[in-house]
Amino acid sequence: METQSFLTVGALADKYRAAGFTQGSLRWQLFNREQNGLDRAVVRVGRRLLIDETEFVAWLRSQREAAA
């Protein structure tokens, strides 16, 4: 059984800080999520955005492949 991990922007920034993600950079990516494809990883609950960590990592890998 697969478990999904949903993180807040702050928790995601803390977890991926070594990769260079700050809260500000993540918020910019989230603001532009419809253009950059990150919308597949976002769930909105009221005003809060939660990010599916598995989908975020898949999106991150796709960015690496697109740059190559």
For the CA atoms of the chain, what is the radius of gyration?
12
Q: What does each of the 68 residues of the chain score in pLDDT, given as a tens digit? A: 456 799 999 999 999 998 889 999 999 999 999 999 999 999 999 999 999 999 999 999 998 877 76
Could you give the CA distance from residue 13 to residue 26 in angstroms, rounded to a whole number?
Answer: 7
Whether 41 contacts 59, CB under 8 Å: yes
**How confident is the model at residue 9, as a pLDDT?**
95
Neighbours of 50 (CB within 10 A): 18
Token digits of residue 24: 């500000």
Instruction: Say how many residues make up the chain.
Output: 68
**How confident is the model at residue 2, as a pLDDT?**
59
Strands 42-45 and 48-52: antiparallel
